[in-house]
Amino acid sequence: MTGAVTRPMRADGRRNRQRVLEAAAALLAERGLKVQIEEIAQRAGVGVGTVCRNFSTKEALIDTVLAGMCEEMLEQARVAQADPDAGHAFTSFVANVADFQARHRVLAEEMATTVDMPTGAVKIKRALRHAVEDLVARAQDAGALRADIGPADLAMLFAGIGHAAALAGVDSVLRQRYLTVVLDGLRPIHPTPLPGIPLGFEELDRLRARGRRTAARVGGHRGDALEGPT
Amino acid sequence: MTGAVTRPMRADGRRNRQRVLEAAAALLAERGLKVQIEEIAQRAGVGVGTVCRNFSTKEALIDTVLAGMCEEMLEQARVAQADPDAGHAFTSFVANVADFQARHRVLAEEMATTVDMPTGAVKIKRALRHAVEDLVARAQDAGALRADIGPADLAMLFAGIGHAAALAGVDSVLRQRYLTVVLDGLRPIHPTPLPGIPLGFEELDRLRARGRRTAARVGGHRGDALEGPT
DNA sequence: GCACAACCGGGAGCATAGTTCCGCTTATAG
DNA sequence: CTATAAGCGGAACTATGCTCCCGGTTGTGC
């Protein structure tokens, strides 16, 4: 499958690649998509050429980083699935994802502006979806989650929470506040029925495929502008 | 006060300026911040030169558009304030803002990525803040809104909702779903107390000022993220 | 109707950021 | 130890998009 058999790749090369990946992850986490290749190279202690040799394009690099993050999330989903208390499994998973998003600004941005999952992360993505479907279904069976919510609804809400979390930045207390509000809204005791029907991942995909065309990977370049409706 | 008295500005010039503003608003709404000046010019039926003469820079143009949007929001806040039912006033205002954000992708994006308020919209912003504070306080007095929420908390949640709404795109039903979830979470009947204290606008400002340039320097703080309510 | 200057269009110029290329360095095999 | 080529750095190249400018057009006052 790999060319590794014929040529094991030089040791220092492999090390550098790893350092680039780490530097990229760190910078993407704290600065978002607008980091420059040169910065990443500098942080990794290599030249830009090295970065570009390992990752033919900036997008490829970002995709690789994101794929790693997806794997991490999947792992958290697995942990949650192992929890015998379905309600707790669900809330803790949601909390972990929100926390994760807050720490990794890129992810939040990605989920915000675009939608394609990158690279060969397709497999991971599918696994993640199944895990989420399972967590949702079990939480609903256990009466810990309102029944009119679908797994993809959750994905959308994740995006929203992650967004608020990103704004809250380092303040984990604020993050918890908003997470709690949403979780309260997801409890089954609520009188207000949701309009429409629970959203599945297929519908979400269809919806996104349609609504996109404006989604670019490396979005706005501008640094500053406006504040909210405060 | 203005120089308008002495020099009425040529009629066609004024008309063109207006058309540019409208084109910009439309394109920003549907495509976000990454629209190009040239596109705007084309849509307005003028040359790029005309755009740049009226608005010295792209940012200035966007700021102007945003200022207009803020005014619109303020108007909606006023309408809500006129409602004698404090609870209904609150929910309808929130719904309007979410809807507004969904229709104007820029606003959502702006709220997402940046924070500085542009232009001389400062006055409008202040008025908007006071209106929101009033709406929140009255809703809480009326027992329609949980007491441990501050007006700035709301601003943060707005951002989250707006984000989810932007993802939902044109689908207003989906928008309604997520809005309902959050509104349910904001009801006062909830058992889960929110951590921290209600967020005021001053704290929000401070937080934002800090968190912006000082990028979230988040190492791996503890392994266990947020805990589910109970 | 005429003169003046405000306004217009769109191409040239400039800044930014990603990608490519090439001569030098250095790990690795024999 | 030497030969070889993988890997390295960073300058040059390229592409994109905002801003400025100039020659022509057109509204406006007389």
Looking at domain A11-56, what is its CATH homologous superfamily?
Answer: Homeodomain-like (1.10.10.60)
Which of A83-87, A107-111, B66-70, B195-199 has maximum average pLDDT?
A83-87
CB A183 within 8 A of CB B228: yes
Under the banding of pLDDT at 50, 70 and 90, the label for residue A217 is very low
Among the partner residues A174, A177, A219, nearest to B34 by beta-carbon distance: A219
Q: Do A157 and B166 touch (CB under 8 A)?
A: no
B103 in contact with A at a CB cutoff of 8 Å?
A: no
| Per-residue pLDDT, B226 | 36
Q: Do B132 and A160 touch (CB under 8 A)?
A: no
Instruction: State how far the Cα of B163 lies from the Cα of A111, in Å rounded to an integer.
Output: 10
State pLDDT tens for residues B115-174: 444 555 778 888 988 999 999 999 999 999 999 999 989 888 888 877 777 766 667 788
pLDDT at residue B6 greater than cutoff 80: no
Mutate to test the interface with B, among A148, A181, A197, A205 (most CBs of B within 10 A): A181
Which residues, other chains included, contact B32 with Cβ-Cβ below 8 Å and sequence gap of 6+?
A113, A214, A219, A220, B105, B106, B109
Instruction: State how far the Cα of A32 lies from the Cα of B1, in Å rounded to an integer.
Output: 44
Angstrom distances, CA of residue A167 to CA of A60, A107, A160, A201 = 27, 14, 11, 27
Which of A184-188, B186-190, B220-224 has maximum average pLDDT?
A184-188
Mean pLDDT of B169-194: 85
The spacing between the Cα labelled CA in B151 and the C1' in C17, in angstroms, equals 40
B204 in contact with A at a CB cutoff of 8 Å?
A: yes
Could you tell me the residue ranges of all domains in chain B? Answer: 11-56, 66-210
Helix (H) or strand (E) holding A108: helix A105-113
A114 in contact with B at a CB cutoff of 8 Å?
A: no
CB atoms within 10 A of CB A201: 17
pLDDT at residue A169 greater than cutoff 70: no
Q: What is the mean pLDDT of chain B?
A: 81
Mean pLDDT of B8-36: 91
A49 touches strand D (CB under 7 A): yes
Q: Which of B207, B111, B202, B93 is nearest to B164 (CA)?
A: B111
pLDDT at residue A5 greater than cutoff 80: no
CB A125 within 8 A of CB A151: no
Among the partner residues B73, B116, B217, nearest to A225 by beta-carbon distance: B116
Mean pLDDT of A35-64: 95
- Nucleotides in chain C with any atom closer than 7 Å to protein CB: 6-11, 16-22, 26-29
pLDDT at residue A133 greater than cutoff 50: yes
Mean pLDDT of B102-126: 65
Instruction: State how far the Cα of B127 lies from the Cα of A153, in Å rounded to an integer.
Output: 35
pLDDT at residue A107 greater than cutoff 80: no
DSSP class of residue A218 equals S
| Per-residue pLDDT, B5 | 52
DSSP class of residue B189 equals T
Q: What share of chain A in percent tops pLDDT 90?
A: 45
Structure tokens at B190: 């909830």
Instruction: State how far the Cα of A40 lies from the Cα of A26, in Å rounded to an integer.
Output: 9
pLDDT at residue A144 greater than cutoff 60: yes
- Nucleotides in chain D with any atom closer than 7 Å to protein CB: 6-11, 17-22, 26-29
Under the banding of pLDDT at 50, 70 and 90, the label for residue A216 is very low
Architecture of the structural domain at B66-210: Orthogonal Bundle (1.10)
The spacing between the Cα labelled CA in B12 and the C1' in D23, in angstroms, equals 20
Mean pLDDT of B2-28: 83
Question: Torsion angle, CA of A33/A74/A198/B192, rounded to 10 degrees?
Answer: -90
CB A81 within 8 A of CB A131: yes
Identify the weakest region by mean pLDDT among A200-204, B13-17, B161-165: B161-165
Instruction: State how far the Cα of A154 lies from the Cα of B160, in Å rounded to an integer.
Output: 13
Structure tokens at B125: 């912003």
State pLDDT tens for residues B189-200: 876 899 999 998
Which of A202-206, B9-13, B133-137 has maximum average pLDDT?
B133-137
Q: Which of B35, B22, B210, B204 is nearest to A228 (CA)?
A: B204
Helix (H) or strand (E) holding B93: helix B86-103
Instruction: State how far the Cα of A77 lies from the Cα of A96, in Å rounded to an integer.
Output: 9
B12 in contact with A at a CB cutoff of 8 Å?
A: no
Q: Which of residues 136-155 of A touch B (CB under 8 A)?
A: 149, 153
Q: Does domain A66-211 sit in CATH 3.20.20.70?
A: no
Q: Which of residues 22-81 of B touch A (CB under 8 A)?
A: 30-34, 58-59, 62-63, 66, 70, 73
Under the banding of pLDDT at 50, 70 and 90, the label for residue A140 is very high
CB atoms within 10 A of CB B221: 11
Higher pLDDT, B106 or B3: B106
Q: What is the mean pLDDT of chain A?
A: 81
Which of A95-99, A127-131, B77-81, B159-163 has maximum average pLDDT?
B77-81
A16 touches strand D (CB under 7 A): yes
Chain centroid offset of residue A38 CA: 24
